[in-house]
Structure 1
Amino acid sequence: MPAAGVTQSLGAIGSSADNAAAESLNASLKRETLQGAHTWPTATQARLAVFGWAHRYNTRRRHSHLGHMSPTDYENTPPPTTATLTHAA
């Protein structure tokens, strides 16, 4: 793993599965921010729309894959601990 903490994709070049997660995210962004609009009056308004969408996506939107938690809540939830019994002396 490089120093930046990024792992290279393991998919084959040109594989449709290689970018499936990114394409799904992009499709949601387009569907939920454009909603019939094709342009914004200014670049600043476009950036604010994307920022607002990303903020809602990460903090309030529930994801079934994460147990119906938002990504932020999922990342901030400590992992479950397993109870272990000590050996009797």
Structure 2
Amino acid sequence: MGLSTEELEATAQEVLGRLRSHQQFQSSWDTAAFIVFLTFVGTVIFLLLVVLVHCCCSCCCTSPRPWRESAGKERPKGMDNLALEP
């Protein structure tokens, strides 16, 4: 079931050999996949940061919002279609 000592030693030597040669990836496809993965992780972290900043700013800001009008005044929505007038 488990790996033998010789197999473990061979695997360790292979990993150490890659580290010494500064070639962690076997092909350029491995490098490209790693770059795509890092780009994805960076995008997710950036979006989480934007959401966090938005939540903090919307909670802390006490300035009135100009696009909202008072609840008592309702302005009509849409526009009149003058083509339907007789």
Same fold (TM over 0.5): no
TM-score w.r.t. the length of structure 2 is 0.31
Compare the two structures and name the one with the higher helix fraction. Answer: 2
| Structure whose alpha-carbon radius of gyration is higher | 2
**Which structure carries more relative contact order (alpha carbon 8 Å, separation 6+)?**
1
